[in-house]
Structure 1
Amino acid sequence: MIEVNELTKRYGRVTAVNGLSFTVSPGLVTGFLGPNGAGKTTTLRMLLGLNTPTSGTVSIDGRPFRELPRGLRQVGALLDAGDVHRGRSATAHLHALARGNGIPRRRVAEVLEEVGLAEVARRRVGTFSLGMRQRLGIAAALLGDPPVLLFDEPLNGLDPEGVKWVRGLFHRLAAEGRTVFVSSHLMSEMEHTADQLVVIGRGELIAAESLTEFATRGTRRSVSVRTPDITTLVAALAAEGASVTTEGDDGCTVTGVDARRIGELARRHDVALEELVTRRSSLEEAFMELTADSAQYQAGESR
């Protein structure tokens, strides 16, 4: 279990993390979300003792990481896939980590096989693609078979097969009772991967709840409509002030008018409806809405 209590980190006049408190429980995949500059990486670094908090506490299974003997046996982490000696082979890199943490050498071959790098184990890391370096970083996190795992943007550079593999890996690790904490900016992937979410903005907590609970906090609703007389219905909806996006020759997505009103308009204009489904906000839509005031960098409209 990971426990963060009133965690604050300041760099001069800049407050990167401000009074942050949350818990990450075992047996679940917990996504760690926030806009760029929200303080996610700073928080992860404080979890691992790489940055010292200005105030507050952070513990892993009741103890600060720096007090844990042979850290890789307790916590596995991937923070930066590029933070590897590029002249070493994958095997040499993992052997060095294993020696420093009292991990048997046989474990190196096991994790390289697990992440799909066994055939390139003796190649220099400098020749690896970003996706291969991500796999090597995941192998390093798994090396000590730890109960707690932290991953910062682990999907960067992975192809679709790699993304599917990582998603399955996280679910398996959580099913084994481990604590899995994953930072990512890919909302579509978190929607398929995370059970719980911790969402921050400008270093402060926005939400700590299940993915379903967070998504339902978004107020945006849309209605999916399918009809053989799409032209008539779109005209009626436009006159009503609705926003309509057509989809093919017989479908559209409607916002600004609810399903009941769409049904009334269809009856008034003798339009037969084949589908009328209200859809709630997606995770991405809820995230964009609830973190809008916390985004550090926002693009303006083109002029």
Structure 2
Amino acid sequence: MVLMIEATELTKCYGGTTAVDRLSFTVRPGVVTGFLGPNGAGKTTTLRMVLGLNRPTGGTVTVDGQPFGDHPRGLRRAGALLDAHDVHDGRTARAHLTALAVSNGLPRSRVAEVLTEAGVADVAGRRIGGFSLGMRQRLGIAAALLGDPPVLIFDEPLNGLDPEGVRWVRGLFGRLADEGRTVLVSSHLMGEMEQTADELIVIGRGRLIAAQSLRDFAARTTRPRVSVRTPDTGSLPGLLTGRGAEVRAEGEGLYTVTGLPADRIGELAFTHGVRLHELSPHPASLEEAFMELTAESVEYSAGAAR
């Protein structure tokens, strides 16, 4: 079974505030899709509408061509982790998953399987109220996997995880995508998204900013960085700043240059007789592109006037 998530002109308003504004996108199977946006961009609201937890004000969002709420026994169709704290603290991990399995017509054997896969089998008999955030995240991922669904949705799944847990989640998402499943991951951790996601959906103030591959999105930054090393330290900085570049000294004749591509720096150095020992362009950074392209969509900025 191969399922897609499709949103068309999806809109959600709360009183006079528009949290999601005519948002259209498609999440395809077989890749990990990162869902990015500044705080307050409408990411969680969008995910809740995908899962039928919030009703859209306008537009539609479907899983396999239908609103998710129309699918019987939803855990067989899509699994999700939206809030690791949204569980009954008085239940044990095993009881929590067993209740989900019974209500969705799933075999009880799946409970033991996902507890083991998520690395919480040893604490299955403990009450969830005593779990750390990382353990709650693992339990939430286990619940998402319970129905062996073709669609998986995760909202900030790495919060609270230790390095081993982060590595496990990274490998899990890749394996699920390789199996042909549809995997949508919302996260604010750009470094992790850079290592995990294949495609990106980026929103700001509830509107679509980009829907493209991670590589193409990162390449949209207009501030390429280039490492330049020269023995002619008295000539190079002024030469480059005079052409609009920003030059930061790193020590021992090494500079980081932004605002000029490597080929232009090389041409200028050659023309003016400046010797270069290194000229190394840096790959486009997801974080730099994200900060640049979402700058006008940031709702709260550090140091902003109140």
Q: Could you state the TM-score of these two structures normalised by the residue count of structure 2?
A: 0.92
| 2:170 alignment partner in structure 1 | 167
Gaps of 5+ in 1: none
C-alpha distance in 2 between matches for 1:27 and 1:161: 25
Deviation at 1:206, TM superposition (A): 0.9
Question: Which has the larger displacement, 269-278 or 67-76?
Answer: 269-278
Encode CA deviations 1:276-295: one digit per residue, 9 max, x unaligned. 02235311111111111111
C-alpha distance in 1 between matches for 2:276 and 2:106: 64
SS of residue matched to 1:58: strand
- Matched AA of 2:6: E
Matching of residue 18 in structure 1 with residue 25 in structure 2: no
Q: Decide whether aligned partners of structure 1 residues 250 and 94 sit closer, same or farther in structure 2, where only a CA change above 3 A counts.
A: farther
- Matched AA of 1:247: E
Deviation at 1:122, TM superposition (A): 1.2
| 2:277 alignment partner in structure 1 | 274
| 2:129 alignment partner in structure 1 | 126
Q: Decide whether aligned partners of structure 1 residues 264 and 58 sit closer, same or farther in structure 2, where only a CA change above 3 A counts.
A: closer
SS of residue matched to 1:132: helix
C-alpha distance in 2 between matches for 1:228 and 1:141: 57
C-alpha distance in 2 between matches for 1:296 and 1:207: 18
| 2:293 alignment partner in structure 1 | 290
- Matched AA of 1:185: H
Structure 2 residue aligned with 1:199, among 202, 215, 237? 202
Q: Decide whether aligned partners of structure 1 residues 7 and 257 sit closer, same or farther in structure 2, where only a CA change above 3 A counts.
A: closer
Answer whether contact 1:33 1:197 (CA < 8 A) is retained. Answer: yes
Answer whether contact 2:222 2:259 (CA < 8 A) is retained. Answer: no
C-alpha distance in 1 between matches for 2:66 and 2:286: 33
Question: Which has the larger displacement, 43-52 or 213-222?
Answer: 213-222
Question: Which has the larger displacement, 226-235 or 252-261?
Answer: 226-235
Structure 2 residue aligned with 1:106, among 102, 106, 109? 109
Structure 1 residue aligned with 2:79, among 76, 79, 85? 76
Structure 2 residue aligned with 1:136, among 120, 139, 144? 139
Deviation at 1:231, TM superposition (A): 6.5
Answer whether contact 2:33 2:184 (CA < 8 A) is retained. Answer: yes
Deviation at 1:230, TM superposition (A): 5.1
**How many residues of Structure 1 are paired with residues of Structure 2 in the alignment?**
302
| 2:158 alignment partner in structure 1 | 155
SS of residue matched to 2:139: helix
Answer whether contact 1:30 1:196 (CA < 8 A) is retained. Answer: yes
| 1:246 alignment partner in structure 2 | 249
Encode CA deviations 1:114-150: one digit per residue, 9 max, x unaligned. 1111111111111111111111100000000000000
| 1:3 alignment partner in structure 2 | 6
Q: Decide whether aligned partners of structure 1 residues 261 and 72 sit closer, same or farther in structure 2, where only a CA change above 3 A counts.
A: closer
Deviation at 1:300, TM superposition (A): 2.9
Answer whether contact 2:221 2:284 (CA < 8 A) is retained. Answer: yes
- Matched AA of 1:284: E
- Deviating above 6 A after TM superposition, structure 1's stretches of 4 or more consecutive aligned residues are none
Answer whether contact 2:224 2:260 (CA < 8 A) is retained. Answer: no
Identity, in percent, stands at 71
Deviation at 1:226, TM superposition (A): 2.8
Q: Could you state the TM-score of these two structures normalised by the residue count of structure 1?
A: 0.93
- Matched AA of 1:133: R
RMSD between aligned residues: 2.0
Deviation at 1:253, TM superposition (A): 1.0
